[in-house]
Chain A
């Protein structure tokens, strides 16, 4: 490990060596170079300088490649001294040294440019090393070196032979030494695997032993082994190349070189021909071919192994991604067969991977109705499919359908396209979404229901509204049954979203709902006052409660898939029950729906109870008014004869008194007695009149309340009506000392009800007399400013009316509170005046100041009544009148 880390440390600093370190390394290089050179030159140097194997060339190249160019002085010095030592003149030695240095420089430079890696694990490393370093860079040294020798006169053999020997020697040095050095320069990682160590050791032994036996003559000159056995080293090195890679090959080659060259140099062995130079040349060619071919083989194998490892790593990553993915990942081939099915897909669909591979995706995982859609989707092709997300239903192994989100990635590789689908099970997301939508819909539904229910106060309408309010928002069929206090069915109403089921429903209503008790579940809800949820009423849930077969039949004919029923409760009372059902399989009611339904039932119950109370109250008011109408009418009959009798009595008294006064015949004291009696009869008469007036007010009031105030319009002169009325009040006015003045046009003609108009005038005049405090009263009858109304004003100068009271006096039962004085009547006079005026299309108003008096004005339209009034006259007939009086 120490060696390895040191090497690595040095390597890491390659190219940026510090000066002392570079100097130190240069010195080391010089020593190694020098001694190896001296030794190398001993092997058949051509012309004394060109050796057939020149290790320093390899050492120099390796040093510059590994440690950088700064080590050049080591080479320069080594080469210079070597050449001096073997007898070169210093200029020649300098030239040769320069050539050697330049060679190493060139080789290192070219290798760096080619992106060479020391490990020889790629073919390009081997080839660039062979061509650029071993063959090209060595030309430099050979040419410069031999030329220098030639120029220096030291060339003892032909130039070309010397040059070739030099070149091959350097190339051999590069191949056998530099390769060995470089291959080990990448550092050593100790493998602790015993088998690997054993393998390395075994192969190492094989190489050493093989070399020993092949390249020495240890096997003797036995005839049986006298064949060119040096080729036997090839299979051994092939094994080494396959198993140990470039490093193994380079190391083995180095070892073999030592054996081969050693034996040859010592004059024996496989290459020994008797001539050292020739033998070395042979050995070198053999070794060169051997190392080149095995390095190529080792690199090819290493490269392939690396690719495989890369591929394996990629596959492992892919596998890991597939296994860890949350999404289901399914790949199909162009025929739609599943080729990949990851664990998430297994979880999602419930299939084992082995069950799916090779099966058709569509028939296995897609509901039949959607297969076409998916096919079209895939047909859309690469561009359209890519990046889209599709929501679709899928099929689990157990047959249930569920929603998925699918995105498809087409994989266009060699051959037909593959599709990879990424699948997310969105059923939970979906159901959460649905639930949320449901809750929101529920709130919206209740708000809507409330507004529908409160839209009417009429009982029947409310019942109908309630039956329709929940359809189709909460259900498809809603049936409401209401009962009376004895439990008898009052009414049944239903709302249905499906028109085509109308006939079935009509039948069902007549068969079940109209009869007491109704269908079992409604009767049960009414009896128990409890809600009930039936998820599947056609199935088992319904058999839990006893139900007639025909009802079960109706439920299945209607297609009811789910049903809820709630009683309509109002405090202690049970008003009925409301049943809501769904025809759709997708809307199966759950507990939450039932809560919503119960709330709906609660609101419906309140609305129905309100409507019922309102109806009762209205009926009560109607009967009260009806009673008052009849009663006041009936009271008039005895009152008529009573008042007639009183009037006769009074008239007789008056007659007899005037007769007595004329004749003076009778006894003296009878006259005052008669006068007294006449007075009291008059009192009776006034009271009976007052009684009659009260009855009239009462009758008018009930008539208005019952909508029976009818006008019989005729052409009348308002001025005449007013003056006649004023005449009638003259007597009463003069009694009180009040002057009534009338200011009017000669006549104002309109179509009005004569008697009702008289009533208005009388009412206003009697009020003026009542509240006028004895001051003069003026009456005016004129046309309005626009000329389309008649204006009747009655002005008094009495106590006046406060503003607050002015707003109220035209209401029922309001009259001016006068302290300490009772004023006759029910306080209905102005109310009736207003009703009559408004019935004519006119209006009445007051302006008054407290203490100064009041002015009441009635405006009656002139024109309008021509058209509005006439049909009214024409439509009148005796029979209709008799009815309305009834």
Chain B
């Protein structure tokens, strides 16, 4: 709450493809959100220890080192540090394979990502970007 009060709403994007990752960052930053990116699930978990609790995690499934399913499994079991409470939206091209994970997460955005849907989803979990407030 204090982070939100400080105007430091962070969105964690876990995506191994550099181009996609930077496109999402670009799109969200243009709207005024703060974006942190990780290349794999493990890195994502490490970041969760160092940064402020994000208002949303955008999670790709097919990742090196620690994949999306494993990452989801870990944070959804972590109630101690309130990680389980963080909303997760899956971004994947995997179709059927993504659906299981999507059921455990708070949403699913199919790749290629529809920008309107993305912004709609982010707004839903993180509110209006700080820049426009």
Contact = CB atoms under 8 A, between A and B. Distances in A.
Interface of A: 633, 636-645, 647-648, 651-652, 688-689, 692, 696, 699-700, 703, 708-710, 712, 714, 753-756, 876-879, 881-882, 884-885
Interface stretch (B43-51, B81-89, B97-105): B97-105
Given A640-B93, A878-B100, A881-B100, A647 B114 contact: yes
Contact of B93 (A637, A651, A753): A637
A854 B94 CA distance: 33
A648 B95 contact: no
Contacts of A645: 23, 26
Nearest to B94: A885
A761 to B, nearest CB: 15
A712 B27 contact: no
Contact of A647 (B72, B101, B115): B115
A710 B96 CA distance: 6
Nearest to A878: B69
Given A652-B30, A878-B69, A881-B69, A644 B97 contact: no
A645 B27 CA distance: 8
B112 A692 contact: yes
Contacts of A709: 96
Contacts of A696: 95
A325 B86 CA distance: 114
Nearest to B21: A641
A699 B20 CA distance: 20
B56 interface: no
B67 interface: yes
Contacts of B26: 645, 648
22 contacts: A637-B17, A637-B20, A637-B93, A638-B19, A640-B93, A644-B115, A645-B23, A648-B27, A689-B112, A699-B95, A700-B95, A709-B96, A710-B96, A712-B96, A712-B100, A755-B99, A878-B67, A878-B73, A878-B101, A881-B101, A882-B67, A885-B61
Contacts of A640: 17, 20, 23, 93, 111-113
A753 B103 CA distance: 11
Contacts of A643: 112-113
Given A712-B100, A712-B103, A885-B62, A644 B93 contact: no
Contacts of A700: 95
A651 B69 contact: no
- Describe A's contact surface by its main secondary structure: helix
A801 to B, nearest CB: 29
Contact of A641 (B17, B61, B100): B17
B24 A708 contact: no
A644 B20 contact: yes
Given A881-B101, A882-B67, A644 B96 contact: no
A313 to B, nearest CB: 109
- Describe B's contact surface by its main secondary structure: helix
B51 to A, nearest CB: 23
- Complex A-B, nearest 6 residue pairs according to Cβ-Cβ distance, in ascending order: A878-B69, A647-B115, A641-B19, A644-B23, A636-B93, A885-B97
B20 A648 contact: no
Contacts of A885: 61-62, 94, 97
A429 B125 CA distance: 99
Contacts of B111: 636-637, 639-640
B32 to A, nearest CB: 12
B128 interface: no
Contacts of A689: 112
Contacts of B61: 885
A633 B93 contact: yes
Contacts of A651: 27, 30, 115
Q: Which of B69, B96, B116 counts the most chain A CB atoms within 10 A?
A: B96
Contacts of A644: 20, 23-24, 27, 112-113, 115
A714 B103 contact: yes
Contacts of B99: 712, 753-755
B63 to A, nearest CB: 10
Contacts of A648: 23, 26-27, 30, 115
Given A637-B93, A878-B73, 13 more contacts: A633-B93, A637-B111, A638-B19, A639-B112, A640-B23, A644-B24, A644-B112, A648-B115, A703-B95, A710-B96, A714-B103, A755-B96, A881-B69
A756 B17 CA distance: 27
B124 to A, nearest CB: 15
A642 B115 CA distance: 12
Contacts of A877: 100
A778 B47 CA distance: 51
B41 to A, nearest CB: 11
A708 B30 contact: no
B27 A647 contact: yes
Q: Which of B19, B67, B112 counts the most chain A CB atoms within 10 A?
A: B112
A754 B100 CA distance: 11
Interface string B22-63: 111011001000000000000000000000000000000110
A644 B93 CA distance: 14
Given A644-B24, A712-B103, A882-B67, A688 B93 contact: no
A648 B114 CA distance: 10
Contacts of A878: 67, 69-70, 72-73, 100-101
Contacts of A708: 96
A708 B93 CA distance: 15
A878 B23 CA distance: 27
A642 B69 CA distance: 26
Contacts of A712: 96, 99-100, 103
A730 B97 CA distance: 29
Nearest to A876: B100
Contacts of B69: 878-879, 881-882
Given A641-B17, A641-B19, A645-B23, A884 B112 contact: no
B112 to A, nearest CB: 4
A709 B97 CA distance: 9
A754 B26 CA distance: 31
Contacts of A636: 93, 111-112
Contacts of B20: 637, 640-641, 644
A594 B106 CA distance: 74
A647 B101 CA distance: 26
Q: Which of B20, B93, B101 counts the most chain A CB atoms within 10 A?
A: B93
B6 to A, nearest CB: 27
A877 B114 CA distance: 28
B11 to A, nearest CB: 15
Contacts of B115: 644, 647-648, 651
A643 B114 CA distance: 8
A699 B23 CA distance: 24
Contacts of B103: 712, 714
Interface string B64-76: 0001011011000
B82 to A, nearest CB: 23
Contacts of A637: 17, 19-20, 93, 111
Contacts of B93: 633, 636-637, 640
Nearest to B22: A641
A343 B79 CA distance: 113
B96 A703 contact: yes
A432 B67 CA distance: 78
Contacts of B94: 633, 885
A644 B19 CA distance: 10
Contacts of B96: 703, 708-710, 712, 755-756, 884
A639 B23 CA distance: 12
B107 to A, nearest CB: 12
Contacts of A652: 30
A852 B23 CA distance: 47
A633 B110 CA distance: 12
B103 to A, nearest CB: 7
Nearest to B17: A637
A638 B21 CA distance: 11
Q: Which of A636, A876, A877, A881 counts the most chain B CB atoms within 10 A?
A: A881
A699 to B, nearest CB: 6
A696 B96 CA distance: 11
